[in-house]
Amino acid sequence: MWSKTFIAIVGGCLLSISLMLNLNFMIPFKIDTRLFIGLLFSFPMWVALMVWCYASETFKQAFKRCTLLFIPSAMFNALFLLN
């Protein structure tokens, strides 16, 4: 269980940042509203990912789950940032 804590904290944090960046680029509101929505949803997103990690069978499975979600999300981040 303790090994999953590492991926839950670090992986959850990175993934939530990446997902929030995508959300920030996609939602059609003014910047202050987008920032507030991002702020409001980022921590629950992080915790949801933590739950997903702890529900995994092993550290390896948790790592795999986070990585598989992070790769496409990071690609979208790159796409949005380059544009």
Instruction: Name the residues that contact other proteins, by CB under 8 A.
Output: 1, 4-5, 8-9, 13, 17, 20-21, 24, 30-33, 35-36, 38-40, 42-44, 46-48, 50-51, 54-57, 77, 81
Q: Looking at beta carbons only, is 47 or 68 nearer to other proteins?
A: 47
Half-sphere exposure of 45 (CA within 13 A, CB side): 20
Three-class DSSP category at 11: helix
Residue 49 · residue 11 · CB < 8 Å = yes
- Give me the least distance between CB of 55 and other proteins, in Å please: 4
Q: Looking at beta carbons only, is 40 or 68 nearer to other proteins?
A: 40
d(CA 62, CA 5): 10
Closest by CA position to 46, among listed 20, 72, 27: 20
Q: Looking at beta carbons only, is 51 or 68 nearer to other proteins?
A: 51
- Give me the least distance between CB of 71 and other proteins, in Å please: 17
